Amino acid sequence: MSPSRSLIALTAALCLAVAAAVPVGAAGTAAPRFGVLQQAALQSPRALSATMLAVAAAGKRLVAVGERGIVLLSDDGGARWRQAATPVRASLTAVQFVDERQGWAVGHLGVVLHSGDGGETWTKQLDGLQLPALFEQAARADAAAAPAYRDYVQLLADDGPDKPLLALHFQDARRGIVVGAYNLALGTEDGGATWTPLSARLPNPRSLHLYGVAVSGASIVLAGEQGLLLRSDNGGRDFAALESPYRGSWFGLLATRGDRLLVYGLRGAAYVSADRGSSWTQASTELPVSISGAAELADGTLVLGSSAGDLLVSRDQGRSFQRRDGPPQPPIAGLVPTQDGALALAGLRGPQRVDLAAPPAAR
C-alpha cells in the first residue's frame, strides 16, 4: 500500500493541509527516522496559533490537541490558552476525557497518550514501534485470525511505524477503543495499560481507513473510507457491516442524546440514525464541502463544522441544518461546547471561541 494513499486520506479526513507527518521509511531505519516519538513537544508562544486538530472538555477545562504534539489548555471557556507538556512531537489527531481528570489523545505514528490530571501532564501508553509485537502476540493467541494479524505485521515491517490513529472512544476510565489508517484498531480494558488488536474482528477486507468511533446504547459504531460503517453489539468481540446510505468517506460520528447517531463526511454529507445505524435519514446541509466536526449543545442543538470554516446549526435533532450567517471561521477540524454555552473550535489558526448567541463578527 502506497504511503501517498495514507497521506492523502489523512489530509482529507482532517480537512486540513497539515504537513506534520513524518516521512515513511523502512523498519530498519525506524529509530532515527521516528525520533519524534522520543522527543517532548517544544514549548513556544507560537503554540497558541498552531494547527489544532481536535478539542474536548475535561470538566470545566478545555483541552485542544494538534500538530507536533502540541496540547493547549483553557480554564475560562476558550478565552485564553496555555501550553501543556507532552512527551512526543508526533501530531495528535483526537482527544477525549471521561471526566475532569482522565483523558486520552491519539495521533500520528500510532501514538496514544494518557493524562490523569486534566491534561496538565501526559504519559505515552502506546506508539507504532510497539505495534508489531502486539499484532504478533495476537496472532499466536488466535489461530483463526493469525493470517490477518501477520499480514499487518508485514505491513508495519515494510512501511515502518507510520500508521496514524485518527479517532478514539472511551466508555469510562478503563474501557476504550482507538482506530486509524489501514483498518488499525485496538481496544483496552485497563485504561490503556495494555492493548489488544481488534483489526481482524472488523469486516473490512480492503483495509479502509477508520475515521470515527462512537457508542450508541450498547453498540460500538465505526465509520470510515468509502462509506464504511461497522457495528458491534457485544462490546467489540465482533463487528458486522452496516448498509451505508452514502459511498463517499465518512469523517466522524457523534452519539447524541436518545441514543441517536450523526455521521458526517465528504461534500456536506450528513445522516442521522435512531436505531444504532440500522437505518439512516439524510440531513439537509446544502453544503458542498466536507464536514469535519460535530457537537451537541446542552439544549440538544447540533452543530457541524466544515473544512471551509462554516458552522451549521440544527434544532430539529439533525433533520436539517442552517448555516450560521457571517464570515466563516478558519477551516474547522473539531468543536466542543463550553460550560457557558459557546463553542470551542480546533482549526488551522489555533483554538477559537465562538458565541453562537452573539451576532457574527467580521474578520
Q: In the numeric block, which cell numbers belong to residue 296?
A: 451537541
How buried is residue 203: exposed, middle or buried, by Cβ count under 10 Å (0-12/13-18/19+)? exposed
Per-residue pLDDT of the chain (363 residues; tens, 9 = 90+): 443 343 334 344 443 333 333 333 333 344 556 899 999 999 999 999 999 999 999 999 999 999 999 999 999 999 999 999 999 999 999 999 999 999 999 999 999 999 999 999 999 999 999 999 999 999 999 999 999 999 989 988 888 888 999 999 999 999 999 999 999 999 999 999 999 999 999 999 999 999 999 999 999 999 999 999 999 999 999 999 999 999 999 999 999 998 899 999 999 999 999 999 999 999 999 899 999 999 999 999 999 999 999 999 999 999 999 998 877 689 999 999 999 999 999 999 999 999 987 655 544
- In-domain check, residue 257: yes
What per-residue confidence (pLDDT) applies to 357? 76
Nearest in space to 350 (alpha carbons), one of 44, 51, 77: 51
What per-residue confidence (pLDDT) applies to 26? 34
- In-domain check, residue 360: no
Q: How far apart are CA 125 and CA 212, in angstroms?
A: 21
Nearest in space to 150 (alpha carbons), one of 159, 137, 165: 137
- In-domain check, residue 359: no
Q: How far apart are CA 28 and CA 105, in angstroms?
A: 27
What per-residue confidence (pLDDT) applies to 363? 42
- In-domain check, residue 213: yes
- In-domain check, residue 201: yes
How buried is residue 182: exposed, middle or buried, by Cβ count under 10 Å (0-12/13-18/19+)? buried
- In-domain check, residue 361: no
Q: What residues make up the domain containing 107?
A: 3-354
DSSP state of 182: G
Within 8 A by CB and 6+ apart from 67, the residues are: 18, 20, 50, 51, 52, 53, 91
The total number of structural domains that make up the chain: 1
Residue 119 sits in a domain whose CATH number is: 2.130.10.10
Distances from the Cα of 143 to the Cα of 149, 177, 179, 230, angstroms: 10, 23, 23, 23
Residue type at position 156: L
- In-domain check, residue 362: no
H or E segment at 134? helix 131-141
